[in-house]
Amino acid sequence: MKNKKRSYKIVAPKIPKELDEFYFSNDYIENEDTFCMSIVAHCSIEYQTAQQVSFKQMIFRNVTFKEVSFEGVDITDVRFENCDLSNVDFRGAIIHRVEMINCKILGVDLSEATLQNVIFEDCNGSYAFFRFTKWKQINFKNCVLSDTDFQKANFTKVGFDHCNLEQSQMSGTKLKGIDFSNCEIEGMGVRIEDLYGAIVSPIQAISLSKLLGIVVKM
């Protein structure tokens, strides 16, 4: 019998069934602006820079974020569907009860952010920056996370299911209890001490043995 892949129960976003449609104009979003209880669909949010912006109880559907910097953004009870957030600057963000489904998050900067009860499913997050980020109750499912920077992140109940983590950097991140067994981790950058308690497949174990200077003879 195969062991069931470890995943964690994620508290879903608390979004009302009835939402008003909202259209973002290209007027500048200002610091500490709050947007809530609305659906934003089939549009672009472009060339915006603001701090401490809040998005609460919202759905973003088929929205492209271009040249956007929302440092310290608060995103709570929000669902992103088929959105493009490539290269968005969300440094220091607080992200709680959020779903990202089939989204592009290429190169997104979530450094020093705090995320809890978040699911990433079918997302492409290559080259993303997650350094010093706190992750709690997180599931990554069928995501491309190659060449990402997870250095010195803090993982608490984080699940990776069928994810590509090739060439990702995990140095300084404690991986105890993290199950990589059905993921691609070739070239993952990690220290020996960080691997203590990580869950890997036999083939992955052979690959990681290189960190110990061991030559495995087959």
Using one digit for the tens of pLDDT, what is the confidence trace for 12-68?
999 999 999 998 876 789 999 999 999 999 999 999 999 999 999 999 999 999 999
Single-letter amino acid, residue 218: M
Please indicate, yes or no, if residue 21 is contained in any of the structural domains: no
Q: Are 204 and 187 in contact (CB under 8 A)?
A: no
Which regions in the chain score pLDDT beneath 70? 1-6, 26, 212-218
Q: Where are the beta strands (DSSP E) in 52-167?
A: 54-71, 74-81, 94-101, 114-121, 134-141, 154-161
> What's the predicted TM-score (pTM) here?
0.92
- Cα–Cα distance for residue pair 95/110, rounded to 1 Å: 10
Q: 38 in a domain, yes or no?
A: yes
Would 152 be classed as within a structural domain? Answer: yes
Task: Give CA separation, 113 vs 29, 72, 186, 214, in Å.
Answer: 21, 8, 26, 37
Which of these, 64, 62, 23, lies nearest to 47 by C-alpha position?
64
What residue numbers bound the domain in which 99 lies?
29-212
- Domain annotation covers residue 37: yes
Contacts of residue 213, Cβ cutoff 8 Å, sequence gap at least 6:
none
H helix intervals, the chain:
202-208
The predicted structure's pLDDT at residue 1: 39
Q: Is residue 3 part of a domain?
A: no
The CATH number given to whatever domain includes residue 100 is: 2.160.20.80
Domains in the chain, number = 1
Question: Would you say residue 153 lies in a domain?
Answer: yes
* pLDDT score at 36: 96
In a domain, 62, yes or no: yes
pLDDT of residue 205: 85
